[in-house]
Chains A and B, each alone.
Chain A
Amino acid sequence: RKEVEQDPGPFNVPEGATVAFNCTYSNSASQSFFWYRQDCRKEPKLLMSVYSSGNEDGRFTAQLNRASQYISLLIRDSKLSDSATYLCVVKGFQKLVFGTGTRLLVSP
């Protein structure tokens, strides 16, 4: 079983839609959680950290469920510019483990 698993997608949504991605992780001792965004043929960039109580950053909401060992990312009012691959990242002991990513395509 992979340490971090994501649905590869693609998720095809129209502009203005709400879309959610989940990510599961296998190591219950994982300490920190993050979402990164990667545009096609570009480097990954941090989108947001995921806190235990859940957190929002504009149209983006991240949630953590330690009991079920998953994290989620909700995007409201999708924009064309949100089209990208979203990487779930889990931090264990001094190591970051990346998921393979979920691809989002937002269409006009």
Chain B
Amino acid sequence: DADVTQTPRNRITKTGKRIMLECSQTKGHDRMYWYRQDPGLGLRLIYYSFDVKDINKGEISDGYSVSRQAQAKFSLSLESAIPNQTALYFCATSDLRYSGQGSTGELFFGEGSRLTVL
């Protein structure tokens, strides 16, 4: 079983609908992230959470919200989906330390959720 699990893996929806993407992890990491990937734009950070009580906006948080229900669960919501939110969404975890020195920099990604908004 995957250490970082995303559901759903694929979703087609219509403009204006509310969508939730869920992520759960068994790695025991405190830090969780949501990214989206678009062709030619690479991976961009939407939101991140360093622990259950900590939520931070990334570079493209507008139109999205998140909830950290537990250490192992981090969900991403699109309150009113629009076509330009069509993308591949990745959840990731890490155990990076604040110092940054000597950290492996390793993010562990889920398999992705492909969202299409019509």
Contact = CB atoms under 8 A, between A and B. Distances in A.
Interface string B53-95: 0000000000000000000000000000000000000100000
Interface residues of A, number: 23
Interface string A39-51: 0011111100100
Interface of B: 35, 40-45, 90, 96, 98, 100-101, 103-107, 109-112
Contacts, number: 51
Contacts of B40: 8, 100
A1 B47 CA distance: 23
Nearest to B45: A95
A100 B44 CA distance: 10
B104 to A, nearest CB: 6
Given A87-B42, A87-B43, A45 B100 contact: no
Nearest to B6: A43
Given A43-B90, A91-B105, A32 B43 contact: no
A7 to B, nearest CB: 13
B90 A89 contact: no
A98 B42 contact: yes
What are the nearest 8 A-B pairs in CB distance? Answer: A43-B109, A100-B42, A98-B43, A46-B106, A31-B100, A34-B105, A98-B42, A32-B105
Interface of A: 4, 8, 31-32, 34, 41-46, 49, 87, 89, 91, 93-96, 98-101
Contact of B43 (A44, A45, A49, A91): A44
28 contacts: A4-B42, A31-B101, A32-B100, A34-B106, A41-B112, A42-B111, A43-B109, A43-B110, A43-B112, A44-B43, A44-B90, A44-B109, A45-B109, A46-B104, A46-B107, A87-B42, A87-B43, A91-B103, A91-B105, A94-B96, A94-B98, A94-B100, A96-B105, A96-B107, A98-B42, A98-B43, A98-B44, A101-B42
